[in-house]
C-alpha cells in the first residue's frame, strides 16, 4: 500500500515518494508493510523469503490554523491488494482518528476536519490497516504513521517579565549596560523565521540603545545628570521573521531611574546671615538654625557644620541635625548685653561622603558669615557664686550668724535686691535670712548627731520686678562639739571560770562615741579611783580603744559567790574630755580544761541553797507518799455505798427514776426513799442528806407508832408541804417515782414475784358480750379457761 499527498505541501516529499516507489526503502520514519515473513521459532533455522511489498507511506503534514470551509486534505492510503473494486476497506485508529482525522474507507483519502494548533500539539500518531470488506480479514498488517502539524507564523514574540524597573548610576560612561530583555516566540524555531526575533527601541532615544540580537540595553550618552532628569521610560520592540515585513511583534516598557552620586557640593543660599539672640538665653539652649543646600540625595547630601573662626567661637557651638541636615547653633556661655552686644561667626558646611571620581567638580564644602546681635532684657539678680557652703557649731545659740549670700542686678539699672529662703511646706525651719543683707542665722539649737548637714535654697528678686527670681543652693555643715560621753559598744556577757589563774584575760571590751572623730577616740579605760581596790579583777587599757578584763586571784567558787560586779570608767579624746561609768557583770561558771563553759546555773542554785542531792531526794519521796495517802482516802470514801433494801423481808423491786443526770443507778445519796416504802418494813426514819435539817429528831418508838397510824398519802402530802416551805432545798421541781403501791388494794400486786405459782380467778365470759370485734379474744381466753378446768 502506498500513500500519496498533495505536491503543493512540500516538493521534497514528492521526490521522496518517488524514490520509495522505485527502491522500496523507508526513510525519515516511513514504515513498509510486508507479507509472507517467517519467524525464528524455538531454535529452528530461520528461513528468509523475498517479501512482497504491500504498502509504504511517509510522514503526513497538515497546516495549522486551517480556516477553509472544507476539510483539509492530508493524504491517501493505498494497498496493492486494492483492485479498485471496493473490496478493500481502510481503517484508521490512533490519536484523533474519527474526530480530527477521518478516512474514506474505500479510497483511503485522509482529511482533517478541525483547525489544528501546533503550539498545543505538534504531531499525531495513528495506525492504518487494510482488511477484506467481505471477510473482515486483514490484507496487510497494521502499521503506524505520523501526521505532523506544519507551523505557520501565528504567534507574536512576548516579554514574559515586563514591564521592567531598573536603575543606573548617573554620570555613567556611554555604553554602560543597563538591562538585558528577552522575548519568546511560541512558533517552531526549526522551521523558517517564524521564531527568529529581532529587538529595536521605539522610545528612549537618544539616551539609550538596544542590541538587536541580544536585547541588551545600554546608555547612549555621556554624563547623564540625575539632577537634570532622573526618570526615563524606554519602549523595546521584539519582531519575528528576522524583522522582515509581515513579521509579528511585541513590546515592553523599561523604566530606568538614574541613581545619585556625590557630584554636587553643598552651597549656602546667602553669604551673610544675621541672628538676634536675647541675653536671657539659657546656656545649652538652641538659639538659631542655618542650612546649606545640596542637590544630591541620601548619604551623598550628608554634611557637617563647623565654626571655623570669629569672635564668638568660645560663646557659641554648632551641631548637625541628621534628619533635616541643618546646623543647630547653641549657646555655650551666658550672654551679657552690658559687656558685649554682638558676635561674628564664620560657618562652614562640608560633605561627609566624598566620591573621588568627581573630585574635579569640588571643593565639596561652602562657607558663610553669621552676625549675632545680643538683645538687652531685664534679667533676674545674679548671685556672686553658683553655690555656697557654710559652717556652724552645734548647740550654738539661737540667732547665731551662719553666713551671708550676695546677689546683684546685672542690668544697668542696678535695682535693689531682696532675699528669702524657699522652704517646702514640710520642712522644719532651722534658719532665716535677712531680706536686705542676705545674712543667714539659726532659729533653733542644732544637734550634729541628729542632722549633720542642711541644704536650703535662697531666692533673690529685684524690688522693681519681683517676678524675676534667681535661686542658689546653700549647704550648711554642722560642726561637732564634745557633748556626748563615750559608752560601752554593747552589753557584755563576761564569764570567769572557777579554775582561772591570776592575770588571766577573761574578756576584751570596746567603746563608742556619738561625737565626731575629733571628739571621740582615742578612749581611755580605767577603774574608779574613789573606790577601793578590787581584789578579784582589774582592768588593762590596750591603748587601741579597747580594754582587757584580768583576774587578780586564783580559783573562784560558785558556791561562795556566783556573780561579781566591776565598775569601770571610760573617757574620750575631746576637749574638754568627757567620761562615763559603767558596771560589768561577771558570772562564775564551771569550765572544761580547755576553757569551754560547762554550766553556770543549776548546780550553783543547789549549792547556794545548802541542800545535798540525798536531801532533795528525801523531800521528793515524802511528797509522793503524802499524795498517795490522799488519793487512797478519796478512793475509799467514794467506794462506800448505801444499802438499797432496808429489810431482808422486803424483796420487792426498788426502781428509782431521775429526771436529771446523776451518778447512775448506784447514786441513791440524793434522796432517802426509806420513809416512802411500806411503813411496816421501815426500821427508822431517815432525813435528806443534801440539806441540813433544822427540826429536832423524834424518838424511835414515837416515829414507828406515827408511821403505823397515818396513811401513806397523807404522809406524802406532809412531806410535800415541808419541801415547799423549806428555803434550803434546790430551787427546782423534782419528779420522783416510788416502788411502793400502797396498802389494802383490791387488785393486789402485779409483781411477777408472787404470781408465778397462783391461778387466776378471773372470769372472761363477759368478753363475748362486747361484740364481734372481741370475738377472737373471747374465744382465745375461753380455750385457756377450758384447759385449766380440764
pLDDT value at position 733? 55
Residue 418 lies in a domain: yes
For the chain, the maximum distance between any two Cα atoms, rounded to a whole number of angstroms, is 184
Instruction: Look at residue 717 in the predicted model and tell me its pLDDT.
Output: 83
Q: Is the peptide bond before 576 cis (omega within 30 degrees of 0)?
A: yes
Query: What value, to the nearest 5°, has the Cα angle with vertex 788 and ends 787 and 790?
Result: 65
- Residues facing residue 330 across a β-bridge: 286, 317
At a CB cut-off of 8 Å and minimum separation 6, what does 583 contact?
565, 566, 567, 568
- Number of structural domains, the chain? 5
Do residues 391 and 364 share a domain?
no
Look at residue 11 in the predicted model and tell me its pLDDT: 32
On whether both 368 and 407 belong to a single domain, the answer is: no
Tell me what pLDDT residue 743 has: 57
Same domain as 218, residue 254: yes
pLDDT at position 639 is 72
Grouping H, G, I as helix, E, B as strand and the rest as coil, residue 148 is: strand
Could you tell me if 497 and 581 lie in one domain?
A: yes
Within a domain: 266: no
Instruction: Single out the residue of 39, 52, 34, 49 nearest to residue 142, CA to CA.
Output: 34
Residue 643 lies in a domain: no
Predicted confidence (pLDDT) per residue in 195-221, tens digit: 889 999 999 999 999 999 999 999 999
Provide the pLDDT for residue 65: 77
Check residue 684 and give its pLDDT. Answer: 45
pTM for the whole structure: 0.42
Query: Beta partners for 754?
Result: none
> Can you read off the three cell numbers belonging to residue 638?
467514794
Dihedral angle over CA of 23, 28, 32, 38, nearest 10: 100
Domain final position from 326, 359, 375:
375
| Rounded Cα distance, 520 and 278, in Å | 56
Residue where a domain terminates, one of 119, 150, 181: 150
| Residue pair 485/579 in contact by the 8 Å Cβ criterion | yes
Residues 6+ apart with CB under 8 A from 94: 124, 125, 126, 127, 144
Q: Determine, yes or no, domain membership for 659.
A: no
What's the pLDDT at 742?
57
Query: Domain residues for 86?
Result: 59-150
The pLDDT tens digits for 135-188 are: 888 988 888 888 888 777 778 898 988 899 999 999 998 999 999 999 988 877
307 falls within a domain = yes
Reading the block at residue 628, the C-alpha cell is 498517795
Residue 96 lies in a domain: yes
207 and 242 in a single domain? The answer is yes
Residue 692 within any structural domain of the chain: no
Residues 371 and 418 in one domain: no
Q: What one-character-per-residue DSSP string does 60-122 give? A: EEEETT---SSPEEEEEEE-TT--SSS-EEEEEEETTBTTTEEE-TTT-EEEE-S---TTT-S
pLDDT at 229: 92
In this structure, the answer to whether residues 144 and 236 fall within a common structural domain is: no
Q: Which three cell numbers stand for residue 479?
A: 560642726
Whether residue 408 is found in the same domain as residue 429: yes
Last residue of a domain, one of 375, 405, 430: 375
Residues 142 and 171 in one domain: no
Domain harbouring 371, CATH code? 2.60.40.60
Q: Are residues 436 and 501 in the same domain?
A: no
Q: Take residue 744 and report the three cell numbers written for it.
A: 389494802
Do 224 and 307 reside in the same domain of the chain? Answer: no
pLDDT of residue 43: 37
What pLDDT sits at residue 783?
Answer: 58
Q: Evaluate whether residue 45 is within a structural domain.
A: no
Residues 226 and 280 in one domain: no
Cβ(623)–Cβ(616) below 8 Å: no
- Consecutive sets of 10 residues in the chain, 790 residues long: mean pLDDT of each? 42 32 33 32 39 53 80 85 86 88 87 83 88 88 85 84 92 92 84 85 92 93 90 93 84 94 92 93 94 91 93 93 93 90 94 87 90 89 93 93 92 86 78 94 92 92 88 93 90 90 92 84 87 90 92 89 92 88 92 82 48 78 92 83 48 50 52 50 45 45 48 79 72 55 55 48 70 75 56
Nearest-angstrom CA–CA distance, 575 and 459: 39
Amino acid at each position: 500500500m502506498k500513500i500519496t499527498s498533495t505536491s503543493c505541501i512540500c516538493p521534497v516529499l514528492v521526490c521522496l515518494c518517488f524514490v520509495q516507489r522505485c527502491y522500496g526503502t523507508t526513510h525519515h520514519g516511513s514504515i513498509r508493510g510486508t507479507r509472507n515473513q517467517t519467524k525464528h521459532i524455538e531454535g529452528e533455522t530461520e528461513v528468509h523469503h523475498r517479501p512482497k511489498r504491500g504498502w509504504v507511506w511517509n510522514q503526513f503534514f497538515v497546516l495549522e490554523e486551517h480556516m477553509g470551509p472544507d476539510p483539509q486534505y492530508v493524504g491517501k492510503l493505498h494497498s496493492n491488494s486494492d483492485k479498485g473494486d471496493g473490496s478493500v476497506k481502510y481503517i484508521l485508529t490512533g490519536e484523533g482518528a474519527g474526530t480530527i482525522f477521518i478516512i474514506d474507507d474505500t479510497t483511503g483519502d485522509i482529511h482533517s476536519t478541525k483547525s489544528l494548533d501546533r503550539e498545543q500539539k505538534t504531531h499525531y500518531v495513528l495506525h492504518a490497516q487494510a482488511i477484506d470488506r467481505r471477510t473482515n480479514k486483514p490484507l496487510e498488517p497494521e502499521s503506524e504513521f505520523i501526521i505532523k502539524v506544519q507551523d505557520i507564523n501565528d504567534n507574536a514574540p512576548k516579554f514574559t517579565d515586563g514591564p521592567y524597573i531598573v536603575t543606573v548610576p548617573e554620570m555613567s560612561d556611554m555604553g554602560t549596560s543597563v538591562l538585558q530583555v528577552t522575548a519568546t516566540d511560541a512558533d517552531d524555531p526549526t522551521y523558517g523565521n517564524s521564531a527568529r526575533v529581532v529587538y529595536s527601541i521605539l522610545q528612549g532615544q537618544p539616551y539609550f540603545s538596544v542590541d538587536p540580537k541580544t536585547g541588551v540595553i545600554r546608555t547612549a550618552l555621556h554624563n547623564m545628570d540625575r539632577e537634570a532628569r532622573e526618570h526615563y521610560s524606554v519602549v523595546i520592540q521584539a519582531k519575528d521573521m528576522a524583522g522582515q515585513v509581515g513579521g509579528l511583534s511585541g513590546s515592553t516598557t523599561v523604566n530606568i531611574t538614574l541613581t545619585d552620586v556625590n557630584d554636587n557640593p553643598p552651597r549656602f543660599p546667602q553669604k551673610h546671615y544675621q541672628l538676634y539672640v536675647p541675653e536671657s538665653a539659657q546656656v545649652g539652649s538652641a538659639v538659631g538654625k542655618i542650612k546649606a543646600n545640596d542637590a544630591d540625595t541620601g548619604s551623598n547630601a550628608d554634611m557637617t557644620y563647623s565654626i571655623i573662626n570669629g569672635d564668638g567661637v568660645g560663646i557659641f557651638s554648632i551641631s548637625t541635625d541628621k534628619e533635616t541636615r541643618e546646623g543647630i547653633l547653641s549657646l555655650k556661655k551666658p550672654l551679657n548685653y552690658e559687656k558685649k552686644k554682638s558676635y561674628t561667626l564664620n560657618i562652614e558646611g562640608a560633605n561627609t561622603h566624598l566620591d573621588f571620581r568627581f573630585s574635579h567638580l569640588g571643593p565639596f564644602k561652602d562657607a558663610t558669615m553669621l552676625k549675632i546681635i545680643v538683645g538687652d532684657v531685664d534679667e533676674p539678680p545674679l548671685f556672686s557664686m553658683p553655690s555656697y557652703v557654710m559652717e556652724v557649731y552645734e548647740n550654738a545659740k539661737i540667732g547665731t550668724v551662719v553666713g551671708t549670700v550676695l546677689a546683684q542686678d546685672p542690668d544697668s539699672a542696678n535695682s535693689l535686691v531682696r532675699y528669702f529662703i524657699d522652704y517646702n511646706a514640710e520642712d522644719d525651719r532651722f534658719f532665716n535670712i535677712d531680706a536686705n543683707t542676705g545674712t543667714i542665722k539659726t532659729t533653733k539649737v542644732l544637734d550634729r548627731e541628729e542632722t549633720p548637714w542642711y541644704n536650703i535654697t535662697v531666692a533673690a528678686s529685684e524690688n522693681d520686678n519681683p517676678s524675676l527670681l534667681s535661686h542658689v543652693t546653700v549647704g550648711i555643715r554642722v560642726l561637732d562639739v564634745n557633748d556626748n560621753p563615750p559608752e560601752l559598744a554593747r552589753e557584755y556577757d563576761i564569764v570567769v571560770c572557777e579554775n582561772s589563774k591570776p592575770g588571766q584575760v577573761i574578756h576584751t571590751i570596746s567603746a563608742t562615741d556619738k561625737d565626731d572623730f575629733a571628739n571621740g577616740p582615742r578612749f581611755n579605760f580605767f577603774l574608779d579611783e574613789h573606790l577601793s581596790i578590787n581584789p578579784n579583777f582589774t582592768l588593762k587599757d590596750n591603748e587601741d580603744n579597747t580594754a582587757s578584763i584580768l583576774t587578780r586571784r586564783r580559783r573562784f567558787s560558785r558556791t561562795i559567790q556566783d556573780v561579781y560586779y566591776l565598775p569601770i570608767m571610760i573617757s574620750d579624746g575631746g576637749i574638754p574630755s568627757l567620761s562615763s561609768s559603767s558596771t560589768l557583770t561577771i558570772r562564775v561558771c564551771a569550765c572544761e580544761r580547755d576553757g569551754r563553759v560547762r554550766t553556770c546555773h543549776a548546780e550553783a542554785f543547789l549549792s547556794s541553797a545548802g541542800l545535798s542531792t540525798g536531801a532533795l531526794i528525801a523531800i521528793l519521796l515524802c511528797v509522793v507518799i503524802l499524795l498517795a495517802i490522799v488519793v487512797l482516802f478519796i478512793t475509799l470514801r467514794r467506794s462506800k455505798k448505801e444499802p438499797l433494801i432496808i429489810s431482808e423481808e422486803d424483796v420487792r423491786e426498788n426502781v428509782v427514776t431521775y429526771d436529771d443526770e446523776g451518778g447512775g443507778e448506784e447514786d441513791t445519796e440524793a434522796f432517802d426513799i426509806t420513809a416512802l416504802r411500806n411503813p411496816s418494813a421501815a426500821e427508822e426514819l431517815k432525813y435528806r442528806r443534801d440539806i441540813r435539817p433544822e427540826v429536832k429528831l423524834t424518838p424511835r418508838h414515837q416515829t414507828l407508832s406515827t408511821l403505823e397510824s397515818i396513811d401513806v398519802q397523807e404522809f406524802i402530802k406532809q412531806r410535800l408541804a415541808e419541801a415547799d416551805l423549806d428555803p434550803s432545798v434546790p430551787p427546782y421541781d423534782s419528779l420522783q417515782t416510788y416502788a411502793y403501791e400502797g396498802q389494802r388494794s383490791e387488785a393486789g400486786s402485779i409483781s411477777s414475784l408472787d404470781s408465778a405459782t397462783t391461778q387466776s380467778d378471773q372470769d372472761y365470759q363477759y368478753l363475748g358480750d362486747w361484740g364481734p370485734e372481741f370475738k377472737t379474744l373471747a374465744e382465745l381466753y375461753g380455750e385457756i379457761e377450758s384447759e385449766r378446768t380440764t
